[in-house]
Chains A and B, each alone.
Chain A
Amino acid sequence: MKKFGLLSTAAAVLTVAAGAAQAETLRLLTWGSYAPEEVVRLFEEKYPDIDVEVTYSNNEEMIAKLRATRGAGFDLAQPSHDRIFAVQEEYGIYKPLDLSKIDTASMQESLLEGVKANTTIDGEVYAVPHQWGTSGLMADITKAPDLNSWDDLCDPQYAGQTSMRLRRTILLGMAFAAGKDPFAAYNDLDEYQKLMDEVTETLIACKANLKAYWNGGDDLSNLMLSGEAVASETWDSTAYKLYAENPNIVFIPPETGALAWIDTFAIPAKGEADDAAYKWINFVLQPEIVTMMSASTGAIASVKGAIDLLPEDKKAAVQAAFDEDDLNNLKFFANIPAGIEEIEGKALDRIKAASE
């Protein structure tokens, strides 16, 4: 098998060398909507010798794909900031970044420093921020006007009309709602286990109150737009999109703070087009591209003055959702140490398996 991989890699290298001495290919592994056609077209116009090839994925699958090939097959990936440190330690699928080739000056300092702090191993930085967003709640304010905490999803007055995604976000949210700080418990597995046991109980009890667990943005949108659900845990970008269709559906940062994630740029260990990757990073940090990108993703770029660079409708949605206090209250996902995912996974299994 190994031999095969080698052969095909060799063949690929040969093809690139012979057939396309000029044209380089940038194989981008990113989130759906993170490479809008227009942006790709402009990029290829500016760098005619680079072809962009996009593969859409999510955090887990990105890691699984890169792990399967030990970091080959893609030239630039966009995992979230909390999913890099442990994965890199365990599987070594990324290569260190050369920060001198990145226009770090245009990035918002706090986000850049935060990501660097999260992804530095042995003095090498493995990721820089691209866009950030939050997970929180959304509600149809005509039907659920008072919703403002994670555990309001379990409020019997919304019985059979709420939804959530059965992943780690809701575990963390519920822990915050119970007055705990799960990130603080990360370093003590026993304590974290206890916290998760507590959250599991809450969520099992909450199960009967839910309409369904959603799996992706599409089924969540259907649930909310059809009115089958009146409130749900959500990504802010999904909420913004729904706001455009029904202004009664708004994003609500929970009172304990919305959970914030930063999607980053990281270069896979066996990436073959590093220069093109750096060019792409710098390209999408330009103000006019940032606006186009945010229009497509609904997320906020990690450049200075990013909120002003949002398209008008998104800016309105963000302003409807966040005030200054909410922004100061953001809870950034912390790096996940070894063992945490195991505990969380078991908790999710138990919740899923429990009958109402």
Chain B
Amino acid sequence: MARSDAGKLSLILLMTPFLMWIVLLIILPQIGIGYLSFQEKVGPRQYVFGVGNYVEFLSEPIYWNTLLRTAWMSILVTILALMIGFPVAYYIAKIARKRSRAALFLLCLIPLWVSDLVRAFGWIVLLRETGVISGALQSVGLIGGPVELLYNDITVVIGLVYTVVLFMIVPLVSTLEGMDNSLLEAGYNLGGTRFTVFRMIVVPYAMPGIVAGCIIVFMLTAGSYLTPILLGGKNSMWFTEQIYTQFITRYNWESGSTFGVLLLLFTSAVVWLGLRLTGQNLASTVAKE
């Protein structure tokens, strides 16, 4: 009896910080945001409960086009990050020697040591019309005049991929590291070509890591702010920028909250759809057998 009481107490003590964190810092603010999104402003300091902000969002193509564009580009970034991250992760986990593995991993982490802002400015210095790459190309004689590499969607995608690819590599490395080399050898031994081994053994084995990496990367990208804005140029639209504008420049917290809720719902829906399409489920990703 006393023992189970002690067990209960230690369970409570262990769970309390976690629950406090979840409730105070995640659930409560979300409820607050959700509540705010249903407040319609009717006059100074006067609000009524209603779905007006959502109607407003749907009736303004600029808003939902921005959301769709953000989602579309985030999916593109996710796919590119996977295509770039997979070989890197495979190299680190399977081909590199044990000793250099930690060093390579650390190398991947280096971009995280500088802030988003500094990284974005780094890209700007490289890519601007009077920047390093344009200058180098000119001095080599490949191009006649200065060329503007900044302020377009391709630059935004490259910048985003660069920022998030690490979050693809980390889960991939940890799943691939768990893969016994003899699985690959068995795959070849039983007659598989490189491609069959990759498709039928490596990819299915790494699937939990792929799914986890894609979810993280997609969410991070859709929620990123600095990179798309600084690299984006005149026509760049990113949904988080809309949220910022609503909250800060327009003082319109109600519609900012609405956008926030919509971004959360929409990205969650994309993730759900992605899981369905690839036949995965969240449980098998999080808790691998």
Interface pair B44/A341, CB less than 8 Å apart: no
Taking CB as reference atom, which chain A residue is nearest B43? A338
Task: Say whether chain A's binding surface is mostly helix, strand, loop, or mixed.
Answer: helix
Q: Is B268 an interface residue (CB 8 A)?
A: no
Q: Is B130 an interface residue (CB 8 A)?
A: yes
The one of A210, A228, A338 in contact with B44, judged by C-beta atoms closer than 8 angstroms, is: A338
Taking the closest CB of chain B, its distance from the CB of A189, in whole angstroms, is 14
Taking CB as reference atom, which chain B residue is nearest A166? B234
Interface pair B250/A228, CB less than 8 Å apart: no
Interface pair A212/B251, CB less than 8 Å apart: no
Taking CB as reference atom, which chain B residue is nearest A61? B248
Taking CB as reference atom, which chain A residue is nearest B31? A1
Q: Is A207 an interface residue (CB 8 A)?
A: yes
Residues 146-195 (chain B) with a chain A CB within 8 angstroms: 150-151
Interface pair B237/A345, CB less than 8 Å apart: no
In the bound complex, how far is the Cα of B235 from the Cα of A222, in angstroms? 20
Determine the chain B residues whose CB is within 8 A of the CB of A349 once the complex forms. 60, 62-63, 242, 245
Interface pair B65/A90, CB less than 8 Å apart: no
Q: Is B116 an interface residue (CB 8 A)?
A: no
Determine the chain A residues whose CB is within 8 A of the CB of B235 once the complex forms. 207, 352-356
Q: Is B30 an interface residue (CB 8 A)?
A: no
In the bound complex, how far is the Cα of B234 from the Cα of A338, in angstroms? 29
Interface pair A341/B250, CB less than 8 Å apart: yes
Determine the chain B residues whose CB is within 8 A of the CB of A348 once the complex forms. 245
Determine the chain B residues whose CB is within 8 A of the CB of A227 once the complex forms. 130
Determine the chain B residues whose CB is within 8 A of the CB of A338 once the complex forms. 44
Q: Known: A212-B233, A213-B234, A356-B235. Is A341-B251 also a contact (CB below 8 A)?
A: yes
Number of chain B interface residues as a range:
20 to 34
Interface pair A345/B62, CB less than 8 Å apart: no
In the bound complex, how far is the Cα of B129 from the Cα of A355, in angstroms? 21
Determine the chain A residues whose CB is within 8 A of the CB of B62 once the complex forms. 349-350, 353
Taking the closest CB of chain A, its distance from the CB of B31, in whole angstroms, is 10
In the bound complex, how far is the Cα of B230 from the Cα of A273, in angstroms? 38
Interface pair B247/A226, CB less than 8 Å apart: no
Q: Is A146 an interface residue (CB 8 A)?
A: no
Residues 246-302 (chain A) with a chain B CB within 8 angstroms: none
Q: Is B99 an interface residue (CB 8 A)?
A: no
Interface pair A87/B251, CB less than 8 Å apart: yes
Interface pair A342/B250, CB less than 8 Å apart: yes
Interface pair B234/A228, CB less than 8 Å apart: no
Interface pair B248/A228, CB less than 8 Å apart: no
In the bound complex, how far is the Cα of B248 from the Cα of A27, in angstroms? 21
Q: Is A122 an interface residue (CB 8 A)?
A: no
Taking the closest CB of chain A, its distance from the CB of B68, in whole angstroms, is 12
Determine the chain B residues whose CB is within 8 A of the CB of A315 once the complex forms. none
Taking CB as reference atom, which chain B residue is nearest A163? B234
Determine the chain A residues whose CB is within 8 A of the CB of B250 once the complex forms. 341-342, 345
Q: Is A175 an interface residue (CB 8 A)?
A: no
In the bound complex, how far is the Cα of B20 from the Cα of A4, in angstroms? 13
Q: Is B45 an interface residue (CB 8 A)?
A: yes
Taking the closest CB of chain B, its distance from the CB of A216, in whole angstroms, is 10
Q: Is B28 an interface residue (CB 8 A)?
A: yes
Q: Mark B246-289, 1 if CB is under 8 A from A, else 0.
A: 01111111000000000000000000000000000000000000
Interface pair B129/A228, CB less than 8 Å apart: yes
The one of B65, B151, B237, B247 in contact with A212, judged by C-beta atoms closer than 8 angstroms, is: B151
Interface pair B130/A228, CB less than 8 Å apart: yes
Interface pair B128/A67, CB less than 8 Å apart: no
Q: Known: A228-B128, A228-B129, A353-B62. Is A64-B251 also a contact (CB below 8 A)?
A: yes
Taking the closest CB of chain A, its distance from the CB of B89, in whole angstroms, is 35
Taking CB as reference atom, which chain B residue is nearest A349? B62
In the bound complex, how far is the Cα of B249 from the Cα of A77, in angstroms? 17
Q: Is A115 an interface residue (CB 8 A)?
A: no
The one of B45, B234, B248 in contact with A356, judged by C-beta atoms closer than 8 angstroms, is: B234
In the bound complex, how far is the Cα of B150 from the Cα of A67, in angstroms? 36
Determine the chain A residues whose CB is within 8 A of the CB of B229 once the complex forms. 215
Determine the chain A residues whose CB is within 8 A of the CB of B28 once the complex forms. 1
In the bound complex, how far is the Cα of B231 from the Cα of A215, in angstroms? 11
In the bound complex, how far is the Cα of B250 from the Cα of A167, in angstroms? 11
Determine the chain B residues whose CB is within 8 A of the CB of A212 once the complex forms. 150-151, 233-234
Taking the closest CB of chain B, its distance from the CB of A45, in whole angstroms, is 34
In the bound complex, how far is the Cα of B53 from the Cα of A342, in angstroms? 13
In the bound complex, how far is the Cα of B62 from the Cα of A354, in angstroms? 9
Q: Is A54 an interface residue (CB 8 A)?
A: no
Determine the chain A residues whose CB is within 8 A of the CB of B32 once the complex forms. 1
Q: Is A60 an interface residue (CB 8 A)?
A: yes
In the bound complex, how far is the Cα of B92 from the Cα of A52, in angstroms? 51
Q: Known: A89-B44, A90-B45. Is A210-B234 also a contact (CB below 8 A)?
A: yes
Which A-B residue pairs are the 6 nearest by beta carbons?
A: A226-B130, A60-B248, A353-B62, A345-B250, A60-B249, A228-B129
Chain B residues with CB under 8 Å of chain A are 24, 28, 32, 44-45, 60, 62-63, 65-66, 124, 128-130, 150-151, 229-230, 233-235, 237, 242, 245, 247-253
**12 more A-B contacts (CB under 8 A) besides A212-B234, A215-B230, A345-B249?**
A60-B251, A64-B251, A89-B44, A90-B251, A207-B234, A215-B229, A222-B128, A345-B250, A349-B60, A349-B245, A353-B66, A353-B237
Chain A residues with CB under 8 Å of chain B are 1, 4, 60-61, 63-64, 67, 87, 89-91, 167, 207, 210, 212-213, 215, 219, 222, 226-228, 338, 341-342, 345, 348-350, 352-356
